[in-house]
Amino acid sequence: MLGAAAPAEGFGAFVRSGTTVETKAVAGTSDAGGGYAVPREIDAMIAATLKVASPIRAIAQVVRVGSAGYRKLVTSGATPSGWASEAGARPETATPTFNEIAPPMGELYANPAASQAMLDDAAFDVEAWLAGEIAGEFARAEGQAFVSGSGVDRPRGFLSYPAATTGDAARPFGTLQYLPSGAAADFGSDPENRLIDLVHALRGAYRQGACWVMNAQTAARIRKFKTADGAFLWMPGLSGGQPDTLLGYPVVEAGDMPDIAAGAAPIAFGNFKAGYLIAERAETQILRDPYSNKPFVHFYATRRVGGAVMNSEAIKLLKIAAA
């Protein structure tokens, strides 16, 4: 019998020698919904179009929390000091300002269903496939939220924060600094100098561990930039697993970053370990429910995650604008 309990070579024997093979008569509601998988001998490895998952989780600070009420204190400003003689007075110095960070959290969920007949008869492991599909979709959705999420029932992306051209000393806490590209809808006449300025807008302490974040289309433009003497700014990784570098800093390709367009910020540079916080309660939870909607088996998956900018001085943006 050809099905979940029968070896795949049974069909091969039929093809080679004409051996009769009994097939189960399983009704699928539609071909795309499962009918393709049941009555035909198919490749057990399911091909799928790849979904772009943002790598922000890999470069940000990730903490596990026990509840949705996670808070973190961040100080802005340093503690000033002063000089005094041996017997001189020591007046009171200023104290740092405490800022509370509360990453907005939301719950991702999915509730796909498969008929029991499909689970029994499909030529591949439907449960494992659904689990992989859910995990991949959750990674894609949370990655988009880390970049541009609104903060309403989901993480707040770093591009959704206010931005200004003022430096760290004069800019309000929670406002990112951006440098203009020099043109209203594209890079200006000296894009390589703008990138150098962006690097040095970040304080030296944050540049240890900093990286570039951009999408593939922007990276394709940047790879063609040269210095005045004809040297490329972009250096490809020399061995497997080594990232490409731009001006000596690794480049992280994030598909959720915007394209080059007027008013957009297609390039970010910063230390995301210091600048962006991801708070999650647990790994993805998947509940198998064969009872609520017989004869279908539901796979209810949830993941609770939040995100917010933790230090607005640690991330800089290049904005497509004349000034």
Give the Cα separation of 235 and 222 in Å (integer).
11
- Total residue length of the chain: 323
Give the Cα separation of 51 and 277 in Å (integer).
24
Residue 86 has pLDDT above 60, yes or no: yes
Q: What is the pLDDT of residue 74?
A: 83
pLDDT digits (tens, 9 = 90+) for 209-251: 999 999 999 999 999 998 888 889 999 887 667 889 999 999 9
Give the Cα separation of 269 and 40 in Å (integer).
51
Q: What is the pLDDT of residue 157?
A: 97
**Nearest Cα to Cα of residue 278 among 54, 114, 96:** 54
Buried b / exposed e along 209-238 (16+ C-beta atoms within 10 A): ebbbbbbeebbebbeebeeeeeeebeeeee
Q: What is the pLDDT of residue 149?
A: 96
Q: What is the pLDDT of residue 30?
A: 55
Residue 60 has pLDDT above 70, yes or no: yes
For 107, residues 6+ apart whose C-beta sits below 8 A from its C-beta are: 153, 302, 303, 304
pLDDT digits (tens, 9 = 90+) for 165-177: 999 988 999 999 9
- What is the pTM for the complete model shown? 0.79
Strand ranges (E), 65-201? 72-76, 97-101, 105-110, 113-115, 163-164, 176-180
Residue 50 confidence class, pLDDT cut points 50, 70, 90: low
Q: What is the pLDDT of residue 129?
A: 79
52 neighbors 255 (Cβ within 8 angstroms): yes
Q: What is the pLDDT of residue 194?
A: 95
- The residue with greater pLDDT, 284 or 109, is 109
Residue 260 confidence class, pLDDT cut points 50, 70, 90: very high
Tell me the HSE value of 246 on the side-chain side, using a 13 A CA sphere: 29
Distance of CA 165 to the CA centre of its chain: 26
pLDDT digits (tens, 9 = 90+) for 2-26: 444 444 454 444 333 444 444 433 3
Q: CB pairs under 8 A, 24+ apart, for 6-13?
A: 8/41, 8/44, 8/123, 11/41
Residue 52 confidence class, pLDDT cut points 50, 70, 90: low
Residue entry with tokens 């051209």: 165
What residue spans in the chain does CATH classification 3.30.2320 cover? 173-277+314-319
pLDDT digits (tens, 9 = 90+) for 153-201: 999 999 999 999 999 988 999 999 999 999 999 999 899 999 999 999 9
CATH code of 173-277+314-319, in short, is: 3.30.2320
pLDDT digits (tens, 9 = 90+) for 261-320: 999 999 999 999 999 999 998 777 888 899 999 899 888 888 899 999 999 999 999 999
pLDDT digits (tens, 9 = 90+) for 110-136: 888 888 888 887 777 777 778 788 888
Q: What is the pLDDT of residue 169?
A: 84
134 neighbors 53 (Cβ within 8 angstroms): no
Residue 41 has pLDDT above 50, yes or no: no
